[in-house]
Structure 1
Amino acid sequence: MTNGSRLHIELRDKQSPWARRLRDLLALMVSDLGGCENCSEAEKSLVRRASMLTLQLELIEQKWAQSGGEASDKSLITYQRVANSLRRILESIGLKRRSRDITPSLTDYLRQRQEEHGAEEE
């Protein structure tokens, strides 16, 4: 996650639906925090845990859907505990989406204008 491409965990099958969903959740949550460059290491750690807990809840829900919506008492208790843990983590990092400043620097803006102007003359 240091450069936005690693999870800091080694997945056996990086192309499995499970691994892809985990990467998607991680990217979405980091984006909500304004991008990797705007996250502290503590926030990155919490985002990894929140992503994994979200995935586990989705897998439990999928099992319930495949069994016609039936859930055992044990699975309901597990689901409730995981959901509560996830809520506490999400409250720690904030539940609101943070905007990221995408305004180009003056140097970048002038370079872009110069490139556009040069392309028009050709």
Structure 2
Amino acid sequence: MAKSKPIPKPQAGTRVGNGKDILAGLDHRSVVMRRYREILSQLVNDMGGDPSEAKSIIAKRSATLAVWCEQAEATMAEGGDIDIGEFTTATNALRRLLVDIGLERKAKDITPTLRQYLEGQAA
């Protein structure tokens, strides 16, 4: 009789993968992190609220570049010097990422399922 292989235990997901953290190992209360979350949240809402994993990754990178650009703009507004080549590169990369996830807002699908519709009609 052949011995069967043991079934591997499912691996525990990461806090980022489980949605408990946006970025691992950070103090999520900092001003920069709060701004990052605001931008990321708005991008997700603009995509209809339930993006694919690929679009979520692009949205995170977009939020990162947006915060970086805002910090560079604040430095410039306070009279500091910024590397215009670096800023232009970041801005162009941000634009390309935003084009990939879509610049237009998408409505969240709130169409009820057939079951929800029938339950609503019965009530």
TM-score (structure 2 length as normaliser)? 0.73
Change in CA separation of 1:29 and 1:93 when aligned onto 2, cut-off 3 Å: same
Q: Which amino acid aligns with 1:58?
A: E
Tell me the equivalent position of 1:48: 60
Query: Is structure 2 residue 66 aligned with structure 1 residue 58?
Result: no
2:38 aligned residue (16, 19, 24): 24
Cα distance per residue 1:66-95 (max 9 Å; x no partner): 12xx534xx111100000000111111111
1:71 aligned residue (74, 77, 81): 81
Cα-Cα RMSD = 2.3
Residue 102 of structure 1, CA deviation: 2.2
Q: How many residues align?
A: 107
Listed as ranges, the gaps of 5+ residues in structure 2 are: 1-15
Query: Is structure 2 residue 90 aligned with structure 1 residue 87?
Result: no
Tell me the equivalent position of 2:24: 10
4+ aligned runs moved over 2 Å, structure 1: 1-6, 102-111
Change in CA separation of 1:35 and 1:2 when aligned onto 2, cut-off 3 Å: farther
Tell me the equivalent position of 1:117: none
Identical residues among aligned pairs (%):
33
Q: Which amino acid aligns with 2:55?
A: E
TM-score (structure 1 length as normaliser)? 0.74
Q: Distance in 2 between matches of 1:47 and 1:102?
A: 22
Larger radius of gyration: 2
Listed as ranges, the gaps of 5+ residues in structure 1 are: 115-122
Higher helix share: 1
